[in-house]
Amino acid sequence: MAFTFRTIVLREIIQRKGRMVSGLLAITLGIAVIVAIQSVTTVSRQVVAKKLDLLGANIMVLPQGANVDDYYSADVDVPTFPEEYVERIATSMLPGVDNMSPKLTRRIKVDGSSVILTGILPANELASKPIWQASGLMGAELQAACAPSQKKESSLTENDLKAQRKVVDSLSSSDVWVGSLVAERLNLKTGSSLPIEGRTFQVTHVLPETGTIDDNRMFVHLHTAQQLLGINGQISNIEIMGCCSEISDGLLGKLRNILPDTRITTIGHIVNTQIETNTLMAKVALVLLVIIILVGSFSIGNYMWANVEERRREIGTLITIGWGRKHIYWLFLTKSIILGLAGGILGYIVGTISAVLLGPYLAGLDISPVLTYLWWSLLVAMLISLLGSWYPIYRAARIDPAIIMQEI
């Protein structure tokens, strides 16, 4: 092996490894804490996001002036806006818009009883629209990137199912789905015939009780509803299933830019909780990162300072035999870089193993190693090491070589 600056550094580290442990430990533990917290946080956020996505649509696009006191009835009897807005959102390709459902809702009388008629566009029609094909948002791809497929989800609780507004796959122009209250009041069952605004529909589904205003709704095809109500090409709202992490990253603002003359709202308590949780986690991680960088830098700086002091005579000798400042800089920088690399790799390994082993017990989460964190670990470890080392290195290069003449 060629004799280089690296040889000298490695030899010094190996020969004096006991003294290096404290310096390396500071970087390793700091990085391990960051990696472990980040691993748990990321999985935790994904789990929360999935659970929230299971609740269905969480963003509603309404006309300006709509009352949003109750998310579930906000679309009833509001002014309308063009159905073409759906395509505007689709063509904008906003990340986090996982599914959309345009609706037209009006109160009508059926058999002398007041019910809410809601026109919906089934998923198969949304997917077959040319503009959706052009934007690549077809069929199953409408499912959330961060939300699990509803069909595959077998672990939903009863409450989850109640709260969920399922995507309607297909709906013919003569079909009607009725809510549980409507079915009870009008004595309807699957297969019953029902006259609405002069046309006869067949009940193809009686929906289970949800405990919301949806129990008092009847659902027909959107375009059928537009014809019945005489407002073709208009809708009263668009429900969007937004990925919660994207919502916290400003999805609502981007939607408002695309549709400036609408009112865009969320299921406030749920989304706000998620945003607050995400923000809190991000802040905690940032505070920890800053503390760890400061403590780590101080610790590595302390070690490097002691190392330079201990090696004053050696450095003086090197300067005497013709090493320039740049060589001294390079000698200690190499050491700092090696410490950073070692601390980053060890910290990543310790942090990941800790998260994988402790995650299930402490957080109830199954954690998988994230390779991306290795690169971040190396970057942060190098930052800690260089930040802590720069002043001792600066001092080392300025040692007076006359020190070699002093008696030991």
Partner 1 sequence: MFDINGLTKTYNRSRQQVHALRNVSLKIDTGSFVTVTGPSGSGKTTLLLSLGGLIHPTEGSVKHGNVNVYDLSASRLAEFRNRTIGFVLQTFNLVPYLTAVENVMLPMLPSGRNGTAPKKRALDLLGMIGLADRSDFLPRELSVGQQQRVAIARALGNEPEVILADEPTGNLDPSLADEILDILQDLNRNHGKTVVMVTHSPQAASRATRTLKLREGMLIQ
371 near partner 1, rule: CB under 8 A: no
Q: Which of 46, 150, 273, 317 binds partner 1 (CB under 8 A)?
A: 317
Among 323, 329, 376, 390, binds partner 1 (CB under 8 A): 323
Distance, in Å, from the CA atom of 39 to the CA atom of 44, rounded to the nearest integer, reads: 9
Of 158, 322, 361, 371, the one binding partner 1 (CB under 8 A) is 322
Decide: is 250 part of the binding site for partner 1 (CB under 8 A): no
- 3-state percent breakdown (helix, strand, coil) of the chain, nearest 5: 55, 15, 25
Is residue 401 close enough to count as binding partner 1 by CB under 8 A? yes
Q: How far is the CB of 344 from partner 1 (least distance, A)?
A: 25
Q: Least Å distance between CB 302 and partner 1?
A: 21
Which of 292, 301, 305, 299 has the alpha carbon at shortest distance from 388?
A: 301
18 is a site residue for partner 1 (CB under 8 A):
no
d(CA 380, CA 373): 10
Q: How far is the CB of 316 from partner 1 (least distance, A)?
A: 8
Site for partner 1 in 294-313 (CB under 8 A): 313
At its nearest, how many Å lie between partner 1 and the CB of residue 306?
16
361 touches partner 1 by CB under 8 A: no
Q: How far is the CB of 303 from partner 1 (least distance, A)?
A: 17
Is the Cα dihedral 266, 269, 270, 271 positive or negative?
positive
| Residue 223 burial (C-beta neighbours within 10 Å; 0-12, 13-18, 19+) | middle
Contact 375, 346 (CB under 8 A): no
What phi and psi values does residue 122 have, to the nearest 5 degrees? -65, 160
Structure tokens at 220: 């027909």
Among 250, 325, 362, 391, binds partner 1 (CB under 8 A): 325
**Choices 31-39, 114-122, 197-205, 314-322 (CB under 8 A): range interacting with partner 1:** 314-322
Q: Is residue 124 near partner 1 by the rule CB under 8 A? A: no
The alpha carbon dihedral of 157, 158, 163, 165 has a sign of positive
User: What residues form DSSP beta bridges with 63?
Assistant: 262
Token duo for residue 165: 């507004």
- The count of C-alpha atoms lying within 13 angstroms of the C-alpha of 324, restricted to the half-sphere facing its C-beta, is 1
Nearer to partner 1 (CB atom), residue 298 or residue 329: 329
What is the number of alpha carbons within 13 Å of residue 193 lying toward its C-beta?
4
Tokens of 182: 């409507």
Q: Contact between 17 and partner 1 (CB under 8 A)?
A: no
Q: Which residue's CB is nearer to partner 1, number 261 or number 407? A: 407
**Min CB(340)–partner 1 separation in Å:** 21
Q: 109, 151, 283, 326: which one contacts partner 1 (CB under 8 A)?
A: 326
Cα distances from 397 to residues 9, 23, 37, 225, 386, in angstroms, run: 16, 21, 39, 82, 15
Considering only the stretches 224-232, 285-293, 325-333, 388-396, report the one whose residues sit in contact with partner 1 under the rule CB under 8 A. 325-333
4 binds partner 1 (CB under 8 A): yes
Closer residue to partner 1 in complex, CB, 190/320? 320
Distance of CA 192 to the CA centre of its chain: 45
Whole-number Å distance between alpha carbons of 31 and 379: 10
CB of 338 to partner 1, least distance (A): 15
Rounded to the nearest whole angstrom, what is the least distance from the CB of residue 403 to partner 1 in the complex?
Answer: 10
**Binding residue for partner 1, selected from 35, 52, 319, 380, defined by CB under 8 A:** 319
Per CB under 8 A, residues contacting partner 1 are 2-5, 7-8, 11-12, 14-16, 313-314, 316-327, 401-402, 404-405, 407-408
